[in-house]
Amino acid sequence: MSTNDPDNETRLLEQLALIRASFLRRIQDELPLFREQLARARAGDSTELEQLQSFVHRIHGGAATFDFIKVSESAEKLETLLEILIGTPLATIAESEDMRRLVESGQRLALAIGAATTRA
């Protein structure tokens, strides 16, 4: 099987388009849980930070792979913030500037996913 064959190339692109749509649908479905985790982290539950990091990393890589640039950029910023916050005692960050930025970045990511879904 080779991508040099135009029919194969077309089939490959069709399959990739379906997988791209599946990715977007899935992260849209996961948004309510993401918002809950973000709210719990803000309320002081430090265990949520690692859950958030896992989700955000998957979105960062997947959105880059499937060419959702805004979603990938938003996820990257959030992932960087989470790397800073994980390992820091939550009591010291709960009301901090970093936590405020985390919540804002999380909201921006949710908006970017929503916008990508509307465009798709």
Site residues for another protein per CB under 8 A: 1-3, 8, 11-12, 15-16, 19-20, 22-23, 26, 54, 57-58, 60-62, 64-67, 72, 76
Cα dihedral 36→41→44→47 (10° resolution): 100
Cα dihedral 74→75→79→82 (10° resolution): 70
CB 40 within 8 A of CB 48: yes
Name the minimum Å distance from CB 91 to another protein.
27
Nearer to another protein, 12 or 39 (CB): 12
Nearer to another protein, 59 or 90 (CB): 59
Residue position matching structure tokens 């959702």: 68
Nearer to another protein, 54 or 96 (CB): 54
Alpha-carbon distance of 34 to 96, in angstroms, equals 21
Name the minimum Å distance from CB 54 to another protein.
7
Nearer to another protein, 60 or 99 (CB): 60
